[in-house]
Structure 1
Amino acid sequence: MPTISSRGHQMPASPIRKLTPFADQAKKDGKKIYHLNIGQPDIKTPAGMLQAIRDIDFDVWAYTPSEGTSTYRNKLVEYYNKLAYNITANQILVTNGGSEAISIAMQACLNPGDEIIIPEPFYANYNGFACPADVVIRPIMSHIEDGFALPSIAAFEKVINDKTKAIVICNPNNPTGYLYSREELEALKALCLKYDLYLFADEAYREFCYDGKEFISPMHLEGLENHVVIFDTVSKRYSACGARLGCLITKNAELYQVALKFAQARLSPPAVAQIAATAAVDTPQSYFDEVLEEYTERRDVLVAGLNALPGVFCPNPGGAFYVVARFPIDNSDKFCQWMLESFEYENETVMMAPAAGFYSSSDAGKNEVRLAYVLHTDELKKALVCLEKALAAYPGRTTTSA
C-alpha cells in the first residue's frame, strides 16, 4: 500500500473538532448536548447579507479575480477606513476564509524552518497552518492568573534567533478572550522594529470588545507599515461562518505581490460570498450594538457561573466570545470525552474544547478547557448546572485546580 507523507502524520488534529464522534454518539443515545466547544454563533446573519444572495441574477457563475472583486474590495476600504486603517483596495487580498489568509502569509513571508513566536494558549489551527508551510512555532507562555496578558518583552527576546521572522497575535484573543492594550501593542512594535520582524494580527473578533475597552490594531501604529499583516474574516463579525470569506491586508507592496501569486494558484475566492459580504458592509450599527449587548450578558453569566463552581477559576475576558477556565480535574482531554461518553444529567451534557490543544508546550493546559459562549443565557445556565454535577461526579477530580 502506498505510504502517507511524514507531513500528513505530523498534521495535528483539531482540539475543537476531534471529539465530534463522541458527540455524535451521545446524540444517537438521546442526549442533549450544549455545544460550548466551537465558535459558531447562534446570532442571526444580517438580513441584508442574506437578501443579497436571494437577489443574485447571473447566467454564468464565473471565476472572480484572484485578489477579489473590485466591488467588494472597495466596499471593504469603506469599512476599514472608518476604523482609521488608511488603506486602499490594492492592499486587500480577499481569501477563502481567514484561514487561507494565514496560510498565504506564512508561505509568502517565511522559508521552511523559519520560526514564528506566538503567545500561548493560541488558536489551535495555527499549528495546522504552520505544518504544511514547514514553519516552526515558538510558543511563549501567558498565564491564567493574570488573565492571559501579553508575556513580557524579555520572554519574547529569550526565543528570538536568526530564524525568527514573525510574531503572531490574535486580538481579541481566541481562545482566551484577552484584549491587548495600546501599551502592549506599542511594545510589540518596538520589538518588531528592533529585530526586523513581521507582526501578524488575527482580528477575527474585532467587533467583540467589552466594558468600553478600546480596540487597537497594529494598523494604528505609525512606522510599522511594512511589518504588519492583518487577517480578517466575515465569519464572526456577521455570524456568517459558512461563507468562508476572509482577507489579508498589508501595506507592504512587495509582500502583497508575492501573496497574490499564491492567491492566483488557487484561482479565486468565492463569488456568491463576496456578493453577500459586499452588502454586509452596510449593516447598521444597531445590529452590532445588539450583538455586543447580548454577548456581554452571556459572558457575565458564564464567567460568574464558572467562578461559583467549587475549585474552578475563570478570568473575565475583554473580548471575543471565549473563556479559558481552570477546572479541578486531572486531564481536560479525558474529562471532555467523559462528559460525552459517560456523563449525563437529566439526559443533558456539555461539549467543550480541551485547552491542552491550544498550547504547544507539553503538559500545559491539562486542567483547562475553552468554552464558547455562543448559546443564549438560559442554555448557558443549564450547561453550568450540568458542569457542576459533572465535576462532582468525575472520577479524575482533584482537590484543587491550581
Structure 2
Amino acid sequence: MADYYATGAVSVSNGGTTVTGSGVVWSTVQAGDTLELAGQRVTIAAAPVSPYTSLTLAVAWTGTTQSGAPYVIRYDAPARFTAGYLATQVRELVAKAAVIEAARPSYGVVSVGSNTPPGSPVTNDMYVVGTSPTGAWSGQANNLAQWTGSAWQFTAPTGGTTAVSEATNGVYIFSGTAWNLYVAPSSFIATLMDDADADAARTTLGAFAASGVSSFGAMLIDDADAATARATLGAFAASGVSSFGATLIDDADAAAARATLGLTPTTGTSTPTPTAASGTLTTASSSLKYEKVGTRVRLTGTVTVTTAGTGVGELLCTIPFTCGSNAATSGNAREVLITGVGCVVTILGGQSYLRIARYDNATVIADSRTVLFEITYDAAS
C-alpha cells in the first residue's frame, strides 16, 4: 500500500477544523496521520467515518481558506508502526492477493452497474461499481468492490476483464472504459461465420435469387473482363447458347455486359435528418451512400448525434428507396470509437426508414455519438 493518499481535492476554512473532500474515500486514514496542504502540515485528530469524505484536524487551520485544492495525507501516524498494526497490514495484503488469484480468469459478482453500496454486505461478496457511485464507493467508478467483512476493497479492471452477474447471468466484458454485455451471434449470423469465401456467403444469403439473377448470370458477374465472360459463355456452346446469352457475346467489356444484364449500379448520396424513437433530438445529422442494382440496395453511412436533447431509444433515418414487402432486413452498425458499443440496423418491409439500436436494447442515443452502419435490402421498385 502507498504511504500517502492524494486522490480528489479538499476544502477548509481559515480557523476551521473540518476538512471536506471531493472525489475522496478516506477509509484508510487514521488519527495521527498528517494533512499536507498549501505548504502547511497539520495532524488529523480522528479517523474519518462512513462515508469517509470529511475529517477533523487536531488544531484550527491557520492558512487561507482553501476550496477544491490539491493535498496529500501522509500515513505517518505513530500507531501505524507498531508490530501488531504491521502484522495486520501483511495479513490484509495476503488476503487481497488470494481473493484476486481465486477470481481469475473471470469474476463472479452479485450485480453490475450499481452506484450505491448495499446496506448489509456479505463478506467476500463482490460488485461491479456503476459510473456514478456514492457513499463508500465514491471515486470508484467501474471498479470491482469486495466486502472484506470490515471495509470495501477495490480492484481496477483492465481491458478484457470479464464478470458474470448473479443477478442476470449475463457476461460482461470491460473494454477499458466501460462494461459491455456480451451478446452471442444470432443463428442467422452463425450460418455465415463458417463460409470460406464470398461465393459461399452469397449462396448462404441467397443474394442472386433475391434480386432475380439466375445461376447462369451469377457465373458471369465475377468475370474480370469480356474475354473471361466469353470463355464462360463458350462452355455452353455445345448445347447451344440462348438468344439472351448471345446478347452478351458482342459486348466490348465488363461494363457493357453488366448493362446488358441490367446490373449497372445506380449510386448516390443523401443527408436526411435523423430522429429518435422517443423524444426529440436537439442536433443530429447523417451522411448516406447507396448503390442500387435492380432492386437490390446496398446502403452505408454515418448517423451523428451532436446533442441528444430528450431523444432516447433507437435512431431513425430516412432511406433513399422504400423497402419491399419482404420480412425485416438487418445489417451491422457500430459506434465509430474503437471502444464503441455494438449495434444492429434494421429495415422493415414496406417502410422508408431504418432503425439503429444497441444489441443490449439500451438507448443508442448520446451526446457526441457517431454510429457507422451498413445494410443491404430489396427496394420496392
Same structural fold, with TM-score higher than 0.5 when normalized by the shorter chain? no
TM-score by length of 1: 0.23
Structure 1 or 2: larger helix share? Answer: 1
TM-score by length of 2: 0.24
Structure 1 or 2: larger strand share? Answer: 2
